[in-house]
Structure 1
């Protein structure tokens, strides 16, 4: 029996400003982000990861979730026409919130970023944590994926 090929990923990285891109270019590379996403993918995907400041995150969170604050990550999955077996999604990460949370949780920026990328990628594929059963299943999957990326359990 032939092994299933790993999912293919078309990835775009965007920064809200050139100053933000310059500040984060060493940590946030297309190669690194692509590797983190691929570990969480279960199907072929086209994903854009956009890194933003607090104002853009707050505006998007208010418009799409009716929450009046900047949040660490927002996931926007898109439905494709014609029954194509292909995931399409945007992940929007607020870098100031990422920095603040990493410091509060005594994690490196990269550790927290990897977790958020994996978390958002799972959301894009329909995983959720709206109830206790879903939350437990999603957390266990995240822990398993993060272990493959040599990352500690973020829920301890």
Structure 2
């Protein structure tokens, strides 16, 4: 049982544009869906995310978001759920390329990363369907459109 409301620590290690910490915290809390616990959000540049992605996923490239769930050792009672690391330049570029507002894409990346901390995954199609449905529901409650909706080009 969770004993306290969620706590979100935001670390900004990038000069790239990013949302306000208040928004990041609100999106994190929405993704926790009433569960307590502590989450660390770290906003970084390409070099840091590439280093982490190389070390932990063996993929030597920048990515948008990485999640590091925390499993406390036996006998240690902590409410720390883990770390979410988001690469600001990658997220901003993706938003532009995908024709999404930066806020909507940032909210999606935060929700996505936090859901990983909660145990959701998208490795197999069944898990992906469950996780994407959860993302859609949370983002809709926050007032954002379906992040997986692809818009058809309009002809003039």
Matched residue, 2:64: 72
Query: RMSD value over aligned CA atoms?
Result: 2.1
Identify unmatched segments of 5+ residues in structure 2: 150-156
In 2, the alpha carbon distance for the partners of 1:12 and 1:118 equals 15
Matched, 1:122 2:115: yes
1:9/1:34 contact within 8 Å kept:
no
- Report how far residue 7 of structure 1 moved: 6.6
Matched residue, 1:137: 130
Identify unmatched segments of 5+ residues in structure 1: none
In 2, the alpha carbon distance for the partners of 1:45 and 1:13 equals 14
Corresponding pairs, count:
147
What TM-score, normalized by structure 1, do the two folds share? 0.86
In 1, the alpha carbon distance for the partners of 2:71 and 2:2 equals 23
In 2, the alpha carbon distance for the partners of 1:131 and 1:87 equals 27
Matched residue, 1:44: 36
Matched residue, 2:23: 32
Matched, 1:15 2:12: yes
Matched, 1:56 2:48: yes
- Report how far residue 5 of structure 1 moved: 9.0
What TM-score, normalized by structure 2, do the two folds share? 0.86
- Report how far residue 29 of structure 1 moved: 2.5
In 2, the alpha carbon distance for the partners of 1:69 and 1:5 equals 37
Give a deviation string over 1:104-133, Cα, whole Å, max 9, x none: 110111110000000000000110001010
After superposition, the Cα gap between the structure-2 partners of 1:143 and 1:60, relative to the gap in structure 1 and judged at 3 Å, is same
- Report how far residue 62 of structure 1 moved: 0.2
1:44/1:87 contact within 8 Å kept:
no
1:73/1:92 contact within 8 Å kept:
yes
- Report how far residue 30 of structure 1 moved: 2.7
